[in-house]
Amino acid sequence: IQELLRVMRTIDDRIVHELNTTIPTASFVGKVDPGQTCKELYESLMDAHTKRERIIKNCISQTSAVVKTLKEEREKAHEDAALLKQLRKEQTKV
């Protein structure tokens, strides 16, 4: 998931470059519609943010389910150190 999020952040990380290539210079103003290109950049950013948010929420949901299951197992086996370690790891991930 971390690698996927890193790739999805590319547009945010390169926003200055994206703006510089999206907004036309004085010599290109007549050839490119700045309003349309800015709108497309905005839509691209919003799409990337929506996808990232969905992935993050899905990860939290799945990890929370694992934590719940591990907590239930821990209630049955109080002395299991490996189970406690795994539970802590998953809680940290959330």
| Residues 20 and 37 sit within 8 Å (Cβ to Cβ) | no
The helix (H) or strand (E) run that includes residue 81 is helix 81-93
pLDDT recorded at residue 37: 81
| Residues 93 and 61 sit within 8 Å (Cβ to Cβ) | no
Alpha helix stretches (DSSP H) within 23-80: 34-76
The helix (H) or strand (E) run that includes residue 7 is helix 2-8
pLDDT recorded at residue 54: 93
Q: Where are the domains of the chain?
A: 1-92
- pLDDT truncated to tens, each residue of the chain (94 aa)? 778 888 888 878 888 888 777 776 666 666 777 788 888 888 988 998 999 999 999 999 999 999 999 998 888 887 888 888 999 999 988 8
